[in-house]
Amino acid sequence: MLDINEIQKILPHRYPFLLVDKILEFKEDFIVGLKNVTINEPFFVGHFPRQPIMPGVLMVEAMAQVGGILLLKEANAEAKIVYFMAIDQVKFRKPVVPGDQLIIKLHVLKKKGRVCKMHGEIFVEDKLVAEADLLATIAD
């Protein structure tokens, strides 16, 4: 398990763009992250004022950040960065609102050199709310 201080040692992201609060599980080809969604998120000011919904693109970014932690932590690559090359098969199944807790799971599907394909899923209360396939590379 990694707390926010350990996450910040791995990822270059900072507020308001750091979208991972904690890593709950970490294995060689699997990771589970957590994101608490609060009304204080800056994107809720405009998305949407009367019915706040977390933008889908930010859910995909949260998946990408958890995947980045998996790749960087596994490779002991603190001086490296992860670039995402492709995002495919994205599906949003249910709106995410303030008070939700995102459980973000990523499985490695294939690795070749510095390139990795992962499948990500986001759950709220055991219900799948979003999923996507992500292709990423580790760079210097």
DSSP-based three-state secondary structure for 5 = helix
Distance CA 64, CA 61 (A): 5
Tokens 């999923």 label which residue?
131
Residue 47 designated active-site: yes
| Given the residues 13, 47, 107, 119, the one annotated as active site | 47
Q: DSSP letter string over 22-70?
A: EEEEEETTEEEEEEE--TT-GGGGTS-TTS----HHHHHHHHHHHHHHH
Known catalytic residues are 47
